[in-house]
Structure 1
């Protein structure tokens, strides 16, 4: 078999494909319309928009990555409802307008440590006050209907006191960390690691600051808080039954009396129920949920 024509044909094919390869390499420039590993740390997020009671302004949380300290940061921005006058307001997140729109409540770094609850007046002065000084960060804050109080949830730690006495370490010794005592089924979470031992409870604090008052009790987790229009009750989700850790994907909607802590169960459905929101007239409660399933997707 004559191999010369075959070699000439192969060479011609390579020469014909060369311009296409050159064009492909020219197209391998960084894309500006998509997220890459090189631009991931430059990505900013926008979340949690809150419309003012008069419908004129929107406050939202703007987040970004602090590349030097390897952590996420956030700030509150405000703009007109038509999108104009978009501007920075204050460092923090999770803004909630007061019922009259004269103040906002939000969380930001405070004393003695970690995230704390603040209230800022929305006038020209813009004075802000830290109203909580607690060891555990507050979440799910909500205004009372009259604007005099705020509710929130926070972890109440449960200390384990096992009667095991360890020998005293010699001066200068570098021993391993003290063993962690785990007594609950759910003791760690993705992207967070080990969780503190305890239960989340609902608290109420005056909007001008003061000592928070714990409203719920018991060894149960209480999630979210939304007031009824009369200001007497706070609705939340949870599972106030024994061995709740072992009941997979189960939760109910409850209400608690803000004055005496009496809890009333509002739903009894097979499946998780959460995120309760009371209607303006107080006659209905909207919430999210789905029927129980063992599917993992």
Structure 2
């Protein structure tokens, strides 16, 4: 973790972890981690203390996201052993202590859920296939009780990593930098939750390609992975509402999977 300008970096875990998300009150961080039974979800204090595993079933439980009230965590997952003939990745919601897991989607490849600011809906990506321009993915929204499933963005090559703006007016996503032939590769886009108003929020530049963008709690900035073309390393960038881009975490090591603290 680090301050919002990239200073005061501190390592919280020693094992391999990926996606992380801060609780709304800033007291806990949810993250997924890898062990010999799969990928699981835990929470930890911002000082690195009191690590608590929330899932342990053989398989994958990943990409945790807190609900706005801090009472629930959404995630995607699938069990081991894998049924190759009927393989599916589902969206789940559990209580913040890991109890009462509920499956919301079935029979598809659904990934990276994120709550709406009012906590009533979840946006997520649905992988629908592959193409020469990259993996094909759509964005769907579903009510937190599993009803009301609908498509918001039609499947397109390279689409990935949805996030919901704090004012509830936009769902953002990026087009993968590693899909250079796909339209808007390396750019951040946004759309209204009803599927209208699709637009480019931050266009890729000759120097930087953007991915995994997440909104600050006040909605004034985006925190994004940014691939620097000159040296081929992933950085973390801060993007202001006016489009000013600052590389805030760099160095010689690859960095990834950014998330904001509760204060932004």
Higher percent of residues as helix: 1
State the Cα distance separating 1:104 from its structure 2 match.
Answer: 0.6
Q: Secondary structure at the match of 1:223?
A: strand
Aligned length: 207
User: Is contact 1:201-1:221 (8 Å) kept?
Assistant: no
For residue 97 of structure 1, what is the aligned residue in structure 2?
66
**TM-score computed with the length of structure 2 as normaliser:** 0.65
Query: Separation in 2 of the partners of 1:108 and 1:185?
Result: 26
| Cα distance change of structure 1 residues 82 and 296 upon mapping to structure 2, 3 Å threshold | closer
C-alpha RMSD of matched pairs (Å): 3.3
Contact 1:116 1:133 survives alignment (8 Å): yes
Q: Residue in 1 aligned with 2:112?
A: 140
- Aligned partner of residue 93 in structure 1, secondary structure: strand
Q: Which residue of 1 aligns with 2:150?
A: 213
Q: Does 1:246 align with 2:181?
A: yes
Displacement of 1:233: 1.0
Q: Is the 8 A contact 1:253 1:273 kept in 2?
A: yes
**Counterpart residue number, 1:151:** 123
Q: Which has the higher contact order (CA 8 A, sep 6+)?
A: 2
Conserved in 2, the CA contact under 8 Å of 1:185 and 1:245? no
- Identify if the C-alpha distance between structure 1 residues 261 and 157 changes in structure 2 by more than 3 Å, giving closer, same or farther: farther
Q: Does 1:120 align with 2:98?
A: no
- In structure 2, distance between residues paired with 1:146 and 1:221: 28
- Given that residues 226 and 278 in structure 1 are in contact (C-alpha distance below 8 angstroms), is that contact kept between their aligned partners in structure 2? yes
Gaps of 5+ in 2: 1-13, 234-264
How is 1:161-172 mapped onto 2 (pairs within 5 angstroms)?
Answer: none
Whether the 8 Å CA contact 2:161–2:212 is kept in 1: the answer is yes
More strand by share: 2
Q: 1:51 to 1:269 in 2, by over 3 A?
A: closer
